[in-house]
A and B are shown apart, each in its own frame.
Chain A
Amino acid sequence: MAKDTDTRCGKVLAIVGNLVTVQVDIPIMNREICYIVICDSLSSEKRLMSEVIKVHAGLVYIQVFESTRGVKIGSSVEFANKMLEVDLAPGLLSKILDGLQNDLTLFPGIFLERGLYNTPIDFEAEYEFHPRMKVGDRVVAGDWLGHVRENWFDHQIMVPFKCAHNTYKIKSINGNGVYKIKDTIAVIVDEKSAEEIKVSMHQKWPVYFPIESYQEKLRLFKQLDTGVRVIDTLNPIVEGGTGFIPGPFGCGKTVLQHIISQYASADLIVVAACGERANEVIELFVEFPHLDDPRTGRKLMERTIIICNTSNMPVSAREASVYTAMTISEYYRQMGLRVLLLADSTSRWAQALREMANKMEELPGPDAFPMDLTAIISSFYARAGYVHLNKNNNSTPGSVTFIGTVSPAGGNLKEPVVEATKKAARCFYALSQKRADSKRYPAIDPVDSYSKYLEYSEVQNYMSKHISSDWVASVYKAKDLLLRGREAFEQINILGDDSVPLAYHERYWKAEVIDFCFLQQDAFDKVDCYSPIERQKFMFELILKIADYNFDFNSFEEIQDYFKNIINIIKQMNYCEFNSQKFSEYQNKLNTLISTKISTKISSSSIQMEAR
């Protein structure tokens, strides 16, 4: 592992944008990190971080993570003998990082000057270590040797992941005490080769490889609450699951992601802002330190890591940013946390791949995207999952749930990135322009969207145990009602109000009740923005009851007017604290309204019982 950079140099041969061709006469590896050395002015020399992406006919093609302005033919390129890796150690929580894991808050000045790099880990910081294992214990990669306290949880110090495939014996391990991050806290010995490895709180991991130091990956079963009704109830996502949100611009992708990042029932949220607007990321910086996590009462920022490569930051670092985010997520999963990774947007990453492929003059696939786009996306989504950690870690579960947004060109859901993602993700939250236009937010289309997890028997069992026994059946019923409502609406539109049976109007309006009172949710109202699952259950059952009733109506105008009143009352309920005085007042009002119109087929006494 020669670290002597003098002997590992090349020279720039050609420059097109961020793609630079380098001539070398030394062995280099694909995806190796290298630095172009330029002189910005007389005094300062700058090193521009780059990455090998292709070797062709003896020439090395590198993508530069910075602007290549001023690079010259013959400029020196130093190879670093490593791939892009991230520093893994206590102290990553609450950080705001760029795609290459630099801590953005540590950079001087207003502008992001190129050629500056740092690490978010404070190597001078001291942590109190508590050992968990003892000398002589047999360990494998990922085993928890002991922990330090990071913020609000026990950050496990693990046998380095690069020690996979071997077993080790602990030769020595430090007792309770305060140590710096790079201090040796244990020495482990390879049982076969007798090689000694010093373990500190710090390790590195190359981002393109998944961390696989766990016992097994399980089939998913456990629901992950997001507080968004149309997701949790109609199209639930599960711990370790994957989902994606495609939608044209202006349909509320980002608001939806922000809501999920605030209220999802995860221990840690990693937000990868990939090629999107800077002002959106600032919303997170500014608001999260003040907002409370509804489950723990701690500030949201305490459970958040933001990886941000906004659209004006170097394009080639976009790809790195999603991998950096995933690797950090996996690292915390290894400590038994439920991690939720949100990436906005994966299309920007795909576009970055396209830009490079284009500059390398590769033969293009559909819409000029590279041919292997589908493979790249699916292997990335495959890194999500629910695992049982090592036996030595008591087989503790941990998970990485991944939700990505896709920004399809022209809102076309048949474009290559959507198509590729559809094959990889199990939940599909289609944002509809039509719903957004009529301000029906969140604009997730209730009919087109799906969650494959509803079909999992494991998930069905979990729901019948934790929510109610016939939950999944009710969900399908609601979807059915919505579809029938849509069909009725089309019939009414084609034939006219008068020419369809009253039942069509009733059907349409019952679907509207579900839409207005359950699917729609006001992200900017402090009560309605977050709906815990028990509240969802209550409202969902209440609304489905209404759909079940037979009403006596004489005209379609009467139907419209009646259901608008119902919608208005339930919407007011949505704005009230659950089970508050006001909430029950509206509920009583609703019951009275229902009892006035209900047909004799169901007695009104059963409604009174609902009023609790």
Chain B
Amino acid sequence: MNTSNINKRAFQKTFTQLINITKATCTVKAQGASYEEMALVDGRPAQVVKIVGDEVTLQIFKGTNGIATNAEVQFLGHAPMLKVGDELIGRFFNAYGEPIDGRPEIDGIEREIGGPAVNPVRREQPSELIATGIAGIDLNNTLVSGQKIPFFADPDQPYNQVMADVALRAKVDKIILGGMGMLYDDFLYYKNLFDNAGALDKIISFINTTNDPAVERILIPDMALTAAEYFAIDKNEKVLVLLTDMTLFCDALAIVSNRMDQIPSKDFMPGTLYSELAKRYEKAVQFPSGGSITILAVTTLSSGDITHAIPDNTGYITEGQLFLKRDTDIAKVIVDPFRSLSRLKQLVIGKKTRADHPQVMNACIRLYSDAANSKTKLENGFDLTDYDQRCLKFAKEYSNHLLAIDVNESINEMLEKAWQLFKEFFGKHEVGIKQEFVDQYWKE
């Protein structure tokens, strides 16, 4: 029973007495299993999630349909692993790290996925701006390397396009795509886009499509992040990890916890949701050596409800969130300035960017918020003041030229544009910006 790890690989004992089968898990009578160990149940990959005496519960990633009560269970003696190495580059893998692009298996060092946390004192404070050209992001919600930030979007919004734009424009060494429950079409979209952009030489993908079993998704973020850690730590590279869609990852967690009879907390999500998400998102890191992991994720919402447990817990973990919204006044999709936030922007705006950046950003948003009030007044049939009128005009221009996701320009150009709009619609006293900046940038 207490055979050492090495011996165990030689004597892979087989157990065949299944006493419990649910949709996602099974329980087998077995000895010597260790917690979180991988196993094969009738050839299907599985992982130990609970042990009580000689009853070992396994989650079977491919589901339990067709599993017999005398199925063969073999324990593999290790936690889930990924082979890492430069051969990963340009390749497409499934949730187990097996190639799905028809090319051969890769050679590499085997690493356990879901490894320990980085010691906080070994981190570096993020301070490098990631420019995307999108003003709704660069001006109002600047991204910083080492940050983790999701798009909160309804399923009908073009988050995949925006995320792909950001990925291709960002100056990073590697892009790692983790696709969970991705529509096969979206998978092809990414594949073709990266291919056409000639960017495949820096992209690695771990894909679980809607064709694949749902529970497999649980492995995707860990796979993607283990690969990311290889490039960020072993190679000191800047890595951008794209995770879409984290809502489906959470749903998969909920399935497993439900099958294990755990008491659900809010919205039928497992009580461990916060920790499970944090374990993944906190892999975003800036190292002193220059290597970094930045995570850009997608969390789809159900009709914009951010109080649901998934976006809510995500919001408490990530360093901000980006909201997309259709602006009917200009018939474009914009980055919502009210609900979007990048927490790390304070580390770069006004420091790595022009000194007036923070105040200009805030003034724009305040005036845009005044415009929203004016709009309410208008809709309720009240007379508008001159100020209201000017706010509304400003808002339209601001939305069209700065918030829309089709904008692609430098941050200085964005700031100049904002000052132009201020001058066009407002007096100096109405923008509430520090006098020294007004003196410098308010061009009469």
Contacts and interface: CB of A to CB of B under 8 A. Distances in A.
Interface of A: 13-17, 21, 39, 41-42, 67-74, 96, 104-105, 107, 109-114, 248-250, 254, 275, 277-279, 281-283, 285-286, 308, 310-313, 315, 348, 351, 354-355, 358-359, 361, 364, 367-368, 407, 409-412, 437-439, 493, 496-498, 516, 524, 556-557, 560-561, 564-565, 567-568, 571-572, 575
B34 A70 contact: yes
B122 interface: yes
Given A14-B50, A16-B52, A351-B275, 19 more contacts: A68-B35, A69-B35, A69-B79, A70-B37, A72-B33, A73-B53, A73-B54, A109-B122, A110-B118, A111-B116, A114-B116, A278-B120, A279-B146, A315-B272, A358-B265, A411-B307, A438-B338, A497-B377, A557-B386
27 contacts: A13-B52, A15-B35, A15-B50, A16-B50, A42-B6, A69-B35, A70-B35, A72-B35, A73-B53, A74-B1, A104-B120, A109-B122, A111-B118, A278-B117, A278-B120, A279-B123, A279-B147, A285-B120, A310-B282, A312-B283, A355-B271, A438-B338, A493-B376, A496-B380, A556-B385, A557-B385, A560-B385
B385 A311 contact: no
A278 B387 contact: no
Interface of B: 1-2, 4-6, 31-37, 49-54, 79, 115-126, 146-147, 233, 262-266, 271-272, 274-275, 278-279, 282-283, 285, 287, 306-309, 312-313, 315-317, 319-321, 338-339, 341, 343-344, 346, 350, 358, 362, 365-366, 369, 376-377, 380-383, 385-387, 429-430, 432, 434-435
A564 B309 contact: no
B366 A439 contact: yes
Contacts of B344: 279
A354 B122 contact: no
Nearest to A318: B275
A439 B140 CA distance: 12
Nearest to B435: A572
B240 to A, nearest CB: 16
B119 A107 contact: yes
B369 A407 contact: no
B365 A439 contact: yes
Nearest to B266: A409
Nearest to B312: A410
Given A72-B34, A112-B116, A572-B434, A14 B274 contact: no
A249 B315 contact: yes
Given A67-B116, A73-B51, A498-B383, A437 B432 contact: no
A561 B344 CA distance: 35
Instruction: Give the 3 A-B residue pairs with the shortest CB-CB distance, closest first.
Output: A410-B307, A311-B278, A312-B282
A575 B51 contact: no
B432 A568 contact: yes
A368 to B, nearest CB: 4
A437 B122 CA distance: 34
Nearest to B309: A409
Contact of B338 (A39, A311, A358, A437): A437
B118 A249 contact: no
Contacts of A564: 429-430
Given A74-B2, A279-B146, A409-B309, A113 B116 contact: yes
B264 A14 contact: no
A590 to B, nearest CB: 13
B119 A71 contact: no
A114 B207 CA distance: 31
B125 A283 contact: yes
Contacts of B119: 104, 107, 109-112
Max chain B C-beta neighbours (<10 A), residue from A67, A105, A565:
A67
B264 to A, nearest CB: 7
B271 A497 contact: no
A575 to B, nearest CB: 6
Contacts of A105: 121
B317 A358 contact: no
B125 A279 contact: yes
A412 B381 CA distance: 33
B116 A249 contact: no
Nearest to B147: A279
A111 B307 CA distance: 33
A39 B350 CA distance: 51
A368 B263 contact: yes
Given A278-B118, A358-B263, A39 B37 contact: no
A69 B81 CA distance: 13
A348 B52 CA distance: 28
A409 B315 CA distance: 10
A355 B338 CA distance: 33
B387 A312 contact: no
A565 B431 CA distance: 10
Contacts of B366: 438-439
A368 B369 contact: no
Given A73-B54, A564-B430, A355 B36 contact: no
Given A14-B52, A105-B121, A110-B122, A279 B319 contact: yes
B275 A315 contact: yes
B33 to A, nearest CB: 7
A278 B50 contact: no
Contacts of A438: 338, 365-366, 369
A568 to B, nearest CB: 4
Nearest to B277: A311
Contacts of A112: 116-119
A241 B362 CA distance: 34
Nearest to A312: B282
B265 A368 contact: yes
Given A15-B50, A279-B344, A282-B125, A311 B282 contact: yes
Given A70-B34, A358-B262, A358-B271, A281 B115 contact: no
Nearest to A569: B429
Contacts of A74: 1-2
Nearest to B272: A355
Contacts of A17: 272
Nearest to A250: B341
A353 to B, nearest CB: 10
B295 to A, nearest CB: 12
A286 B125 contact: yes
B124 A282 contact: yes
A15 B37 CA distance: 12
B309 A364 contact: no
Nearest to B120: A278
Nearest to A369: B265
B430 A111 contact: no
Nearest to A70: B34
Contacts of B233: 110
Given A73-B51, A112-B118, A557 B282 contact: no
A277 B286 CA distance: 13
Nearest to A407: B316
Among B33, B36, B116, B262, the one with the most A-chain Cβ atoms within 10 Å of its Cβ is B116
Nearest to B306: A410
Nearest to B1: A74
Nearest to B115: A111
Contacts of B339: 437
A497 B383 contact: yes
A71 B339 CA distance: 44
Nearest to B305: A410
Contacts of A109: 119, 122
A354 B265 contact: yes
B53 A13 contact: yes
Contacts of B306: 410
Given A73-B51, A110-B233, A348 B120 contact: no
B435 A42 contact: no
Given A69-B36, A72-B32, A497 B121 contact: no
Contacts of A315: 272, 275
Contacts of A439: 362, 365-366, 369
B137 to A, nearest CB: 16
B391 to A, nearest CB: 12
Contacts of A14: 50-53
